[in-house]
């Protein structure tokens, strides 16, 4: 039959025409705005499926297509496989626009099977990462005026991307890490990831997009990134127990093997791209059979490498 990679290639063809991009981004915006309003930014994914989790892409289209070849359209159409992208589609790589358009076209085609999470490189306007070459890429391709208009459209789109995916009783997926500010204070998963009051919502979002795990039995330490914090194993143990999940899967950090574990194998980092500036030896993604009762104890067996 075909695979998700075939559908992604349709999105890449659209990249040559500015009007096609405007159309696809507009459609994705309408779809995601509805979804994010319904879910409050925390998308629920059913258990009893196979979960394809994809970490940072950063413009490495070649690796992205290799991963997407692992999901057949038959399995997607039957609802057997759901895909969660962990964010950071753009910046750094040579095919950042193509990578982003690929995930958007997949979302449009299979809205119930694809989750596109927000990364810190799909930023709120007041927290732009550095380097952030995506706007320059748009200007170089389409000229100053059209490039800037497109960038505004993308910024609007990024604001409706969900920041958390939750499989109840099993796991949570997000880009950066667990927030520390709502540690021990939140009574629901919604309070934990959105804050207890509206005024702190953007600070919690910044933590979800920017935090990294640290191997100390602490709550929080300053982050060398200049945004977010390092969260310690105290936060992870509390979170897993309080909200009855087994594992946190996140992206955000480059690792040489393409994956790493923190906090006693309960925090899995996936880095799903190759090439500069990290030159990691392999990229990794996970294809987890959640119907297997002991999946979380054997999680390393579900990690796949590309080199
Ligand atoms: Mn990141």
How confident is the model over 41-77, as pLDDT tens digits? 999 999 999 999 999 999 999 999 999 999 999 999 9
- The CA 176 to ligand 1 mean position distance, Å, reads 6
* Structural domain count, the chain: 1
Q: What is the pLDDT of residue 41?
A: 97
**How many other C-beta atoms can be found within 10 angstroms of the C-beta atom of residue 296?**
18
- The CA 87 to ligand 1 mean position distance, Å, reads 7
CB 208 within 8 A of CB 179: yes
- The CA 29 to ligand 1 mean position distance, Å, reads 22
- The CA 86 to ligand 1 mean position distance, Å, reads 9
The 3-state DSSP class for residue 154 equals: helix
Q: Establish whether the linkage from the previous residue to 288 is cis, with ω within 30° of 0.
A: no
DSSP lists the bridge partners of residue 283 as: 306
Structural domain including 26 reads: 4-306
* Among the listed residues 295, 280, 301, the one whose alpha carbon sits nearest the alpha carbon of residue 55: 280
- The CA 25 to ligand 1 mean position distance, Å, reads 22
- The CA 202 to ligand 1 mean position distance, Å, reads 17
Distance (Å) of CA 145 to CA 17, 52, 119, 229, 281 = 15, 38, 26, 37, 39
- The CA 77 to ligand 1 mean position distance, Å, reads 30
CB 166 within 8 A of CB 189: yes
Distance CA 248, CA 272 (A): 16
Q: What is the pLDDT of residue 16?
A: 84
- The CA 293 to ligand 1 mean position distance, Å, reads 31
Virtual torsion, Cα 69, 132, 271, 157, nearest 10 deg: -50
- The CA 55 to ligand 1 mean position distance, Å, reads 9
In the chain, count H helices and then E strands.
10, 14
- The CA 148 to ligand 1 mean position distance, Å, reads 23
Distance CA 53, CA 118 (A): 14
Q: Mark the ranges of the chain whose per-residue pLDDT is less than 70.
A: none
- The CA 89 to ligand 1 mean position distance, Å, reads 9
- The CA 210 to ligand 1 mean position distance, Å, reads 7
* Among the listed residues 189, 292, 299, 291, the one whose alpha carbon sits nearest the alpha carbon of residue 240: 189
CB 184 within 8 A of CB 225: no
CATH of the domain at 142: 3.60.21.10
How confident is the model over 171-218, as pLDDT tens digits? 999 999 999 999 999 999 999 999 999 999 999 999 999 999 999 999
Q: Tokens in use for 200?
A: 């702190």
- The CA 12 to ligand 1 mean position distance, Å, reads 23
Distance CA 186, CA 239 (A): 10
* Among the listed residues 223, 216, 212, the one whose alpha carbon sits nearest the alpha carbon of residue 251: 212
Give the largest Cα separation in the chain, rounded: 54
CB 57 within 8 A of CB 86: no
- The pTM for the full model equals 0.97
Q: What is the pLDDT of residue 106?
A: 97
């Amino acid at each position: 039959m075909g695979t998700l990679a075939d559908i992604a290639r349709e999105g890449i063809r659209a990249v040559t025409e500015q009007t096609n991009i405007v159309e696809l981004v507009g459609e994705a915006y309408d779809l995601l705005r509805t979804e994010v309003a319904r879910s409050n930014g925390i998308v629920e994914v059913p258990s009893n499926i196979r979960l394809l989790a994809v970490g940072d892409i950063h413009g490495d289209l070649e690796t992205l297509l290799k991963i997407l070849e692992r999901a057949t359209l038959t399995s997607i159409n039957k609802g057997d496989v759901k895909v969660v992208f962990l964010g950071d589609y753009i910046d750094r790589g040579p095919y950042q626009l193509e990578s982003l358009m690929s995930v958007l076209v997949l979302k449009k085609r299979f809205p119930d099977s694809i989750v596109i999470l927000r990364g810190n490189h799909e930023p709120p306007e007041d927290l732009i990462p550095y380097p952030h070459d995506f706007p320059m890429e748009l200007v170089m391709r389409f000229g100053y005026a059209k490039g800037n208009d497109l960038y505004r459209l993308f910024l609007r789109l990024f604001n409706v991307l969900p920041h958390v995916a939750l499989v109840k009783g099993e796991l949570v997926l997000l880009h950066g890490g667990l927030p520390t500010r709502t540690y021990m204070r939140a009574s629901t998963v919604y309070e934990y990831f959105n804050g207890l009051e509206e005024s702190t919502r953007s600070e919690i979002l910044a933590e979800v997009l920017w935090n990294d795990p640290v191997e100390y039995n602490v709550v929080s330490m300053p982050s060398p990134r200049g945004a977010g914090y390092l969260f310690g194993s105290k936060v992870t143990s509390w979170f897993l127990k309080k909200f009855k999940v087994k594992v946190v899967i996140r992206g955000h950090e480059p690792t040489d093997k393409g994956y790493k574990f923190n906090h006693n194998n309960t925090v899995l980092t996936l880095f799903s791209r190759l090439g500069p500036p990290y030159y990691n030896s392999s990229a990794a993604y996970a294809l987890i059979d959640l119907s297997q009762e002991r999946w979380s104890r054997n999680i390393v067996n579900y990690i796949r490498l590309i080199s």
